[in-house]
A and B are shown apart, each in its own frame.
Chain A
């Protein structure tokens, strides 16, 4: 069936290091992917998205990479800060509706 999953449930990094959060998806027809950040007790906050006709997209301190060959998505955070500590979710849009399928999330912990 369709699914979005993550390889690492928890990622611990030192402040200032770069973070890489990975995500696997199973539907090769998915044409839109998105990353959200969720802090405790709050709703998910949009970080960055990418369409299937792109391999890479950069934002402020964040980069999303899409590898359609192996159906893999990653979020790179440069110079990770304590404020980046949160749970990160990837999601895919598998059809021509606006429905998203979410992964289970990765917790990012940033240590000083």
Chain B
């Protein structure tokens, strides 16, 4: 089936650690996105990529990094510089409309 796969579904991070969230799509989409969702709130854009080997900061990029080496993959690294990383992270791909994966919930130990 075509779709967007995010892994893992749950992730725990210790203080000072970097963690990487995976996002893979087999929809042949050029554009991919990472959003952060906090409880009871809407989605905020972290980073987006419109084509392989290119990406741009969104509204809340500080403390995060991404890469786009392959069209199918857009991993997000939550670095130790992100002081409040506990959130639900959503990956999307496509354009008008964007389609979403089922998210990764990151918690701090």
What is A's interface to B at a CB cutoff of 8 Å?
Answer: 4, 32, 34, 36, 41-46, 49, 89, 91, 93, 97-100, 102-105
Contact = CB atoms under 8 A, between A and B. Distances in A.
25 contacts: A4-B42, A34-B97, A34-B98, A41-B105, A42-B103, A43-B4, A43-B90, A43-B101, A44-B43, A44-B90, A46-B97, A46-B99, A89-B42, A98-B31, A98-B48, A98-B96, A98-B98, A99-B48, A100-B45, A102-B42, A102-B43, A103-B42, A104-B41, A105-B41, A105-B42
Contacts of B96: 32, 34, 49, 93, 98
Interface centre among A36, A98, A102 (most CB of B within 10 A): A98
Contacts of A97: 50
- Identify which of A41, A44, A99 gathers the most chain B CB atoms within 10 Å of its CB: A44
B95 A43 contact: no
A43 B102 contact: yes
Interface of B: 4, 6, 31, 33, 40-45, 48, 50, 58, 90, 92, 95-103, 105
Nearest to B97: A46
Nearest to A51: B96
B42 A45 contact: no
B89 to A, nearest CB: 10
Contact of B43 (A42, A49, A89): A89
Given A49-B96, A93-B96, A99 B42 contact: no
Contacts of B97: 34, 46, 49
Most chain B CB atoms below 10 A, which of A34, A46, A99: A99
